[in-house]
Structure 1
Amino acid sequence: MTLETPRLRRTRMSARLVVLGAGALVLIAPFLYMLSTSFKPNRLAFEWPPQFIPNPATLANYTQAWGANDFGRYFLNSVFVACFSTVCTTLLAALAAYGFARFRFPLRSVLFWVLMLGLMVPSVVILIPQFLVASALNLNDSLSGLVFFYVGAGVALNTFLLRGFFEGVPEELDESMTLEGAGPVRKFVALYLPLSRPALATSAVFAFLAAWDEFSWAVTSINDPAKYTLPIAIAQFQGQHATSWGLVFAASAIGMLPVLLVYLIGQRHIVTGLQAGALKS
């Protein structure tokens, strides 16, 4: 058996880093080009050879994009929908995960896997049934209707993640609080939620991203232009300014800012929460 020499180990590591770096560059290049073009005057959007550092750089695209066609209103609509969906999804998923993780009741496993079946159904498949349900409940063409269905769509995945983390909480701590007279609600608030902050942060990030980026149901449900969310607004914006790529890319960059902010805030919890949910479920 041949032992791996330090030189061979360094060579393999260097080759691995080169391959990973090249892959990362391929993935990030379109984003960098979009960001670069958003700072260029429109006459330089298709200059050749392309320059990733704009010269001259301008903020005119951003000011014009934000002030055009009630873009600020659409941005606030998305903030409202995404924030309320995140809070409701995380809370309901935490309650469901706590019940599946710590209570014993008939058909518990069956109910859990029935809930998981929802993850296997593409959202496009249920657009028409969803529309009929929304019409019956008078939830079409409303931001609250978007929140209602985004929460319903996100509970299954987040329950799966949180259940694994709740099952990892030592039963001794649960039993000690029971001996002190704590009920299920107190244990959930005082024990499980504080210990599960990484999983809760992961759940919140996933719920926010899903609600912020969703387009199919929003464009199907919303007819009133005043209630458009940002994905619909950007699609409309692109149709109106198809040749003004600087404006279109500036609008897209504005829409990405909250996503990047949420990810940066929650990134240190995401890996921990994903590992706990995947390995313990």
Structure 2
Amino acid sequence: MNAKTEKKLKIALSVGLLLLGLACVALPFWYMFVTSLKPQSYVFEFPPRLWPTTPSLDNYVEAVNRDSFGVYFLNSLVVATATTASTVLVSAMLAYAFARFKFPGRNVLFYLLLLGMMIPPVMLIIPQFLVATSLGLREKLIGLVVVYVTMNLSMQTFLLRGFFANIPRDLEEAALIDGASPWQIFTRIILPLSKPGLATVTIFTFLYSWDEFPWANVAIKEATKRTLPIAIALFQSQHLTRWGLVFAASIIALTPVVIVFLVFQKYFVQGISTTGMKG
């Protein structure tokens, strides 16, 4: 076997493995989507079809209009958007301070901040419950936002600090000579050059706050304040035999995450490869 043939076999094997992995990931989502388009009488047909004979959006219409699903969706959207915006802003400022400014105890404070990455979130539910109760944050969406921001700060600050540390200092020094303030340097130079890192933080934070279940289940008991993960869990228990309806609700819940990823995906790979590598 010559080198050219061996190279072709390696490429074919790599492509085959990638297609197999893609099929393993995509087929369950495809089945869920196809089932959501079927009437209940065709959900368990055998053999299953790759596309329904008479596709219908009735399950989606019913899911949106049933059990205040739209209210839960809006609650999750408000919480996830506020959490993501707050986390990106605060973690970016913290990361820039740790990456550029020298002050007493900087390294100690940074390592203390990183302790937040080492503690499982489930262990913090009781302390969070006690603090939220004492501050009057239970049964409020703002209570979810505050907890989600604090849970994300450690990881996102760590990622952005490594990214900021790789930006040449010459740009900041030139801006200082021109009379720019630290805030102007941060907002007009550092942030525009950090789009891959900011995109990575945005995707991770939005995904966490959109899907988080344990704290939302503990902190919110009022029906009108529930978020979508709680609603999906209740929806599945109430309509377990109506898989078309359950899958339609799940597809709706996935839509914002897919949109956020598509918007930021061109920066995502670059951000993953460059954040957290130095600093």
Question: Equivalent residue for 1:33?
Answer: 31
Distance 1:4 1:148, change over 3 A: farther
Residues of 2 paired with 1:244 and 1:171: CA distance? 59
In structure 2, what residue type is equivalent to 1:265? V
C-alpha distance after superposition, 1:55-76 (max 9, x if no partner)? 2211110000000011111111
- Matching residue's letter, 2:51: I
Work out which of the residue numbers 75, 90, 93 in structure 1 matches 2:91.
Answer: 93
Q: Helix, strand or coil: the match of 2:277?
A: helix
Normalized against structure 2, the TM-score is what? 0.97
The CA distance in 2 between the partners of 1:25 and 1:114, in whole Å, is 43
Looking at structure 2, the residues matched to 132 and 72 of structure 1 have their Cα atoms a distance apart, in angstroms, of 30
- Compared with structure 1, are the counterparts of its residues 142 and 243 closer, same or farther at alpha carbon in structure 2 (3 Å cutoff)? same
**Contact 1:116/1:156 (<8 A) preserved:** yes
The 2-side partners of 1:250 and 1:180 are apart by: 56
User: Which residue in the other structure is 1:111 paired with?
Assistant: 109
Unaligned 5+ residue runs, structure 2?
none
The corresponding residue for 1:124 is 122
Q: How does 1:118-267 map to 2 (within 5 A)?
A: 118-267=116-265
Bigger mean CA deviation after superposition, 43-52 or 224-233: 43-52
Over the residues paired in the alignment, what is the CA RMSD in angstroms?
1.3
Counterpart of 1:72? Answer: 70
Q: State the distance in 2 between where 1:244 and 1:263 align.
A: 29
- Checking the alignment, whether the CA contact within 8 Å between 2:75 and 2:141 is kept in structure 1 is yes
* Residue 4 of structure 1: how far off its partner (Å): 6.5
Distance 2:181 2:274 in 1: 25
Give unpaired runs (5+ residues) of structure 1.
none
- Mapped to 1, the partners of 2:108 and 2:220 lie a distance apart of 36
Cα deviation 1:108-137 (Å, max 9, x = unaligned): 222212212211211111111111111011
What is the distance in 1 between the residues matched to 2:114 and 2:36?
A: 41
Aligned mates of 1:229, 1:113 — CA distance in 2: 33
AA at the equivalent of 1:205: I
Q: How far apart in 2 are the matches of 1:7 and 1:242? A: 53
What TM-score do the two structures reach when normalised by structure 1?
0.96
Q: Is the CA contact 1:161–1:273 (under 8 Å) kept in the aligned structure 2?
A: no
SS in 2 for 1:278: coil
CA offset digits 1:13-36 (Å, max 9, x no partner): 101111121122112221111111
Q: Percent of aligned pairs with the same residue?
A: 46
Q: Is the 8 Å Cα contact of residues 160 and 276 (structure 2) preserved in structure 1?
A: no
Secondary structure, aligned partner of 2:53: coil
Q: What CA distance in whole angstroms lies between the structure 2 residues aligned with 1:113 and 1:44?
A: 56
Partner amino acid for 1:116?
L
Which amino acid is the alignment partner of residue 143 of structure 1? L
The Cα offsets for residues 172-222 of structure 1, whole Å up to 9 and x where unpaired, read as 111111222222111111111111112112111111111111111101100
Q: CA deviation at 1:224?
A: 0.5
Question: What is the Cα deviation at residue 271 of structure 1?
Answer: 1.1
Q: Number of paired residues?
A: 279
